[in-house]
Structure formats: C-alpha cells, structure tokens
C-alpha cells in the first residue's frame, strides 16, 4: 500500500538521502493536535455542504479522535518513512476506518493544511506566552510594591547617576513587558485568518464553506487570496520578531541580576532554588538561571534571522523551503517560554539587600542633580549656571574625599555666596527620591500607586 500523498505519479521510491532531507516528522509531530482539530473541522464542513456523506464524516471525526487519544497517551507509532504529521494521521485514519479516510483530503491540499496547522500552533503559543508574561508582570509589580521605598542607585553608562527606588526599577520592566504583550497581541490579530480551503494555491472547484471552518477553528475570517494564504509566513516572522524583542528585555534583566548578585554590588540574593555551585570553589553561588535566560536570546534572534533568510527569495506560491520554518519557531517559542518562567521565578525568589543598595545610592555624588535643581528652584539661578556651581562643589568634595553633604556651608558659600543651610535638606538620598514626584518619577508614593494600579489591572485581566 502506498502511504505517500503523491505516490501515484512515481514508479520508484525515493533515494535514502531524498527521504532523509524530505522528512519532517521529527519536528512537525508537534502539530498533531492542530492537524487533527483542523481535519475535524474540514470533514464536518464537507458533510454540511454535501461534498461527502455524513456517515463518512462521522467515521472520520471518530477516527481522528481515536488518533488524538493514541498520540496523547504515547501509544501512536511514528515512522520515518511517513514523512510528516499529516501523512501519519491520514495513514492511521485509513487503518481505523478504511476507504472513508480517503475522503478527508477532498478540497484541500497539504499546502493549505500545513499553513492552517501552523497558524493554529503559533496562535496557541502566543496565548501561552501572554499568560507567562502576565505572570512575570505580576511578580515584578508585587516585588515593586514591597520595595517602593528601597533606595538604590540609578545608572547611566553603568555609572551612578541619581538615586531611585528598587520598586521603580522593577516597574520599568513591567512597562517593557506590556509593550511585548502588545506586540504579541498584534501578531495574533493579524495571523487569525484561515487558509483552509485555499488548496494547493488556486482555491478549489468544490462548493466549500470557508466561513464555517473559520468559525469552527476560532479564526476571525478566511484568508482573501489563495496564493498568499499558502505561501505566507509573516505570522511566524512577526511572532519571532516579538519574541526577539521580548527576549532582549529578559536578557537585560538577566544581566542586571548577574551584576546585582556579584560581590561588588551585593544588591540582591538568590536562594539555592535559582543558583548553582561550583565544581571546585565551594563558596560560589552562581546565578545560572539568569545567565541561561540571557543566552536564550541568541537562539531566539537567530531563529528570526534564519526564517527571514529562508523566505527572502521565494516566489509565489508554496516552496518546500518553507518546511524549514517550524524547527526555528518551535525552538524559539520553547526557549522564550522557559526564559519567561525562569525570570518570574527569580523575581519572586530574590531578596533585596536594602543596606547595600542605599549605601551605593549615596556614593559617587548621586545627589548632585538635586543640588543643581535646588539652586534653580530656590535661588532662581539659570540651570546652566547651577550646573557649573554644582560641578565646582562636587570637585571640592572629591578633592576632600568626602560625601556631598559633608561639604560645609562655608565651603559651599565660597563657591556661591547665596547658598543657605536649607540646601542640606536635598542632599540626602531619601530626600532625593522623595522629591521625584513628577508623573513617572521614582518617588515612593508614585511607585506604590503604580504598582497597585498594575496589580489591579492584572487582576482584572486574570478574571476575564
């Protein structure tokens, strides 16, 4: 019995090398659930439109349900000779129900079949990613609320710039992830069109009802052009692009975790649950979860680049090059899902060393900008002049080897006679962060309000 969909045209079997390069069952078996779901919708539609008999359609659906149970239970036998998941399902269906199985492929091609399956898989993956990202936002917002008043240095160029709060820093990642979720939502909206019924490339002469299969599969509408429908992989590229940007955000956070855990910073501590030891140095506690999450970014971006290159020279419509789309998408999505979960775990696990953070926040004259602002606000000095005066005060403090607030009033007045003792009220790190009350600023009151707003929003999302 010939089990290949295209065997009738050929008198010889494929060369072993041809069979090896052509086979995709090693990876596209991941599409089994989507393939069976789409096939059930297709069979039901064929019966409803009178293209096949209802009895045959019922047999097909029952057989497909049996195959689904077999695969889920690990009892299904996959064979390299049956090149892809579609052939496996159809061959097994024929074993189960006989000749009626051959009616399933009426009015469709493997081209629109795989395009449909792949869209369904990517759509499911986006939903999984969104749930993971929402959980990460929850973890960050909770930790931010708990650390709304925990003072730490804010950096530019990785140089101490101004004091901020740890909670404010964590909320920055909540905002980044919100944009990531928006990108995935946009990609999901655009991919949610149904290619099924486009057949090989030109549509079909059978009186199919594409709106019916679209509704059954949860698509918003059928695709409008059959050529585009079978050859489009924009939905995969968009999802990989969103995944790449998201992974960059996770990598930036992971880098900060690695830095914060180091002895030079000692800002946070991760427990044994998210660290590993050294094979030779018993004192080591390595932030491997962060490092591995950071490394996943290379794989994810590489997957996007790889698929872009696969697609760049393909004429319409389908080419077998597109078989190279799935491994890259599967790997990227799995890597991202794992990195998201690891990051959420680290956020919940980490404990802030408030004393070390505050000490670092007061170093390197981090409140110099507060002095300049005070000169503008209180003395009415033009900012450029205030910047110059502050620079001179900082230079004096540096020369003396003291903190900014340890420069005496008399010494400051030698630089600017109008300075008063009131200036010392803005030179401490607590006063600095408390004063940053502008919208989006680091003041603890702002951070508490924003963290609570996010937690309320996430609770509403979870409820709906």
Using alpha carbons, select from 397, 398, 401, 419 the residue that is nearest to residue 410: 419
Task: Say whether the peptide bond before residue 95 is cis (omega within 30 degrees of 0).
Answer: no
Look up tokens 């036998």; give the residue.
77
353: which 2 tokens? 């060393």
User: In whole angstroms, what is the distance from residue 109 CA to residue 107 CA?
Assistant: 7
Partners of 286 in beta bridges: 276
Look up tokens 């050294």; give the residue.
278
User: In whole angstroms, what is the distance from residue 105 CA to residue 157 CA?
Assistant: 60
C-beta separation of 174 from 145 below 8 A: no
CA distances from 60 to 5, 32, 41, 63, 161 (A): 17, 16, 11, 5, 67
Q: Which of 81, 262, 271, 278 is catalytic?
A: 278
Using alpha carbons, select from 132, 126, 120 the residue that is nearest to residue 30: 120
Rounded to a whole number of angstroms, the CA Rg of the chain reads: 30
CA distances from 426 to 163, 175, 309, 362 (A): 12, 29, 56, 12
CA distances from 293 to 159, 185, 237, 277 (A): 25, 23, 21, 17
Segments in 49-84 forming alpha helices (H): 54-72
CA distances from 83 to 18, 26, 103 (A): 11, 9, 20
Sign of CA dihedral 323, 328, 331, 334: negative
Answer yes or no: 278 catalytic: yes
Q: Which of 11, 157, 205, 438 is catalytic?
A: 157
The residues carrying an active-site annotation are: 157, 278
């Amino acid at each position: 019995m010939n089990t290949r969909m295209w065997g009738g045209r050929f008198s010889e079997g494929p060369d072993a090398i041809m069979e090896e390069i052509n086979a995709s069952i090693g990876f596209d078996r991941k599409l089994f659930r989507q393939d069976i779901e789409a096939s059930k919708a297709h069979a039901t539609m064929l019966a409803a439109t009178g293209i096949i008999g209802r009895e045959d359609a019922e047999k097909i659906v029952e057989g497909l349900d049996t195959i689904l149970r077999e695969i889920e239970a690990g009892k299904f036998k996959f064979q390299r000779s049956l090149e892809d998941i579609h052939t496996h399902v159809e061959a097994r269906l024929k074993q189960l129900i006989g000749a009626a199985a051959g009616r399933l492929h009426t009015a469709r091609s493997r081209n629109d079949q795989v395009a449909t399956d792949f869209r369904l898989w990517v759509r499911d993956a986006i939903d999984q990613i969104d749930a993971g990202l929402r959980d990460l936002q929850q973890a960050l917002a909770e930790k931010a609320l708990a650390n709304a008043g925990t003072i730490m240095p804010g950096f530019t160029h990785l140089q101490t710039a101004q004091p901020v709060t740890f909670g404010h820093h964590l909320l920055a990642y909540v905002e980044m992830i919100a944009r990531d979720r928006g990108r995935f939502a946009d990609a999901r909206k655009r991919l949610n069109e149904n290619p099924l019924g486009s057949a090989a490339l030109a549509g079909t002469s059978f009186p199919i009802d594409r709106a019916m299969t679209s509704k059954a599969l949860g698509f918003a509408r059928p695709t409008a052009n059959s050529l585009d429908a079978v050859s489009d992989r924009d939905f995969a590229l968009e999802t990989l692009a969103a995944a790449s940007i998201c992974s960059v955000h996770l990598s930036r956070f992971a880098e900060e975790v690695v830095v914060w855990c180091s002895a030079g910073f000692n800002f946070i501590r991760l427990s044994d649950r998210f660290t590993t030891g050294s094979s030779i140095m018993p004192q080591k506690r390595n932030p491997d979860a962060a490092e591995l999450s950071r490394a996943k970014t290379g794989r994810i971006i590489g997957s996007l680049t790889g698929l872009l290159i696969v697609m760049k020279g393909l004429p319409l419509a389908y080419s077998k090059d597109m078989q190279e789309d799935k491994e890259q998408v599967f790997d990227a999505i799995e890597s991202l899902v794992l990195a998201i979960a690891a990051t959420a775990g680290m956020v919940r696990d980490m404990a802030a060393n408030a004393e070390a953070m505050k000490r670092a926040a007061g170093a390197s004259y981090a409140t110099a900008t507060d002095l300049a602002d005070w000169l503008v606000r209180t003395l009415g000095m033009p900012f450029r002049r205030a910047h110059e005066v502050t620079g001179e005060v900082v230079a004096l403090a540096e020369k003396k080897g003291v903190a900014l607030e340890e420069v005496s009033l008399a010494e400051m007045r030698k630089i600017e006679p109008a300075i008063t003792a009131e200036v010392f009220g803005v030179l401490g790190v607590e006063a600095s962060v408390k004063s940053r009350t502008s919208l989006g600023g680091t003041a603890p009151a702002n951070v508490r309000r924003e963290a609570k707003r996010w937690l309320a929003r996430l609770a509403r999302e979870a409820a709906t």
